[in-house]
Amino acid sequence: MIKLAEILELPSVEETTLLTNWDSLTVLSAMIAIDEANGCQVSGQSLSDCSTVLDVLRLAGAE
């Protein structure tokens, strides 16, 4: 969550936080963060399809 907040350049995030500034840079950063935290590689497309922080957390846990 802290890492996601950094990536999104927000002071903090909650599961319901909307990914309003979800662009190519943040998607690439999130791919690396998930790989480093969970050791799994998620696709850029599946991340681009996320609309909330919870979607990202689910994706990171699911793949």
Partner 1 sequence: MSCAATANSLRLRGVTTVVPKGEVLNAQIDGALEASKVTGVVARRWVRSVYDQKDMELFAAQKLLIELGWEPSSVTTLIHVTQTPYVDVPAGAYELHDKLELPRNCAVVPVNWSCSGYVMGLWLAGQLMGVNSSARTLLVVGDSTSTICDPADRATRPLFGDAVSATALDLWRVPVHTQKFTVGSDGRGAEHLRADLSHTLSMNGAEVLQFVLRNVPHMARELLDRPGADYVLLHQANKMMIDALRRKIVADCGLRTEQIPCNIEKFGNCSSASIPLLVTSLFSGARPRALDLALLGFGAGWAWAGARLTLPQDCYVEGFEL
47 or 53: CB nearest partner 1: 47
Residue listed under structure tokens 């936080």:
17
**Least gap, CB of 11 to partner 1 (angstroms):** 20
Q: Which residues bind partner 1 (CB under 8 A)?
A: 24-25, 27-29, 31-32, 35-36, 41-45, 47-48
Output the six-digit token pair for 40.
């799994």
1 or 25: CB nearest partner 1: 25
**Least gap, CB of 17 to partner 1 (angstroms):** 21
Query: What is the DSSP track for 21-48?
Result: T--HHHHHHHHHHHHHHHS----HHHHH
